[in-house]
Amino acid sequence: MNKKSLQLGVIEGKWKKDTNLSVKNLFDLLSDIHHNTPHGYAYEMFCNASSLKDIISRMGKTRNLKYIYIGAHGNDDCIAAAGENIRRTAIRNELKQLSSGAIEGLFFGSCLFGNEDNASFLLGSDEKTPIKWVAGYTTAVDWMESSALDILFWSTFYGMAGTPIKRIEDTTEHVSQMANGLIKKLGFQIYVRKKGKTAGLKNLLAEVHDDK
């Protein structure tokens, strides 16, 4: 990775046939704002489960890369690229191969996939993955609205410091103050493991969604 780096890997599936619709421009802008270069992150596209696993493996071994954003169509238990559904098992199996601390955060820019069950599966319990947090959407999101929240999240995140958990907690607090309504509308969630011996997840945005 470039020394002026977001420590971020963006992995994207094909959104629509015969179009070049992409989130890449969002991250070019984010990188340019924070590091004065549009090349301060890694970007790759995937077309099936095999290519996605290869990219995750490669990014997980890339020095100074700590976060992955996956943009793709999604539903309750899988994401999709080029018409092929990719089960969450394929993603977790590749995450389990990564060394401890390799990838700290995983963000899904996908409809429906960011539910608690998927987050729990990907973070792992008996066989934990190196991931510290998982974020994503639980509704069929609007492209423009989710893109706005994506860029707000990451721009806020890069203004925070501290341990991986403190950084995501502080990001959650600030984003929830700035975009409370959009978070609720899109069903945006951020999960971490519970502290201590108690198994399970903590949804950092639970209070936002409980506040009707």
79 in a structural domain: yes
The pLDDT of residue 195: 84
Q: Which of 68, 64, 63, 66 is nearest to 44 (CA)?
A: 68
Domain annotation covers residue 1: no
Q: What is the pLDDT of residues 94-135, one digit of tens each?
A: 999 998 889 999 999 999 999 999 999 999 866 689 999 999
- Burial call 78-102: b when 16+ CB within 10 Å, e when fewer: bbbbeebebebebbbebbeebeeeb
Number of domains in the chain: 1
- Note the pLDDT tens digit of each residue in 62-104: 989 999 999 999 999 999 988 899 999 999 999 999 988 899 9
Return the SS3 of 68: strand
- pTM surpassing 0.85? yes
pLDDT of residue 212: 65
Tokens in use for 176?
């929830």
pLDDT of 126 reads 64
In a domain, 39, yes or no: yes
The rounded percent of the chain whose pLDDT value lies above 70 is 95
The most distant pair of C-alpha atoms in the chain lies apart, rounded to whole Å, by 50
How far, in whole angstroms, is CA 123 from its chain's centroid? 12
pLDDT of 200 above 80: yes
Range of the domain at 52: 8-210
Single-letter amino acid code for the residue at 82: A
**Beta carbons of 191 and 203 less than 8 angstroms apart:** yes
**Assigned domain for 126 exists:** yes
Average predicted confidence (pLDDT) for the chain: 93
The four Cα atoms 79, 81, 86, 92 give a dihedral, to 10 degrees, of -70
- Provide the pLDDT for residue 149: 98
Higher pLDDT, 154 or 196: 154
pLDDT score, position 197:
67
Nearest to residue 133, comparing CAs of 89, 175, 95, 103? Answer: 103
CA atoms within 13 A on the CB side of 163: 4
46 has pLDDT over 80: yes
Residue 195 lies in a domain: yes
What CATH number does residue 33 fall under? 3.40.50
pLDDT at 78: 96
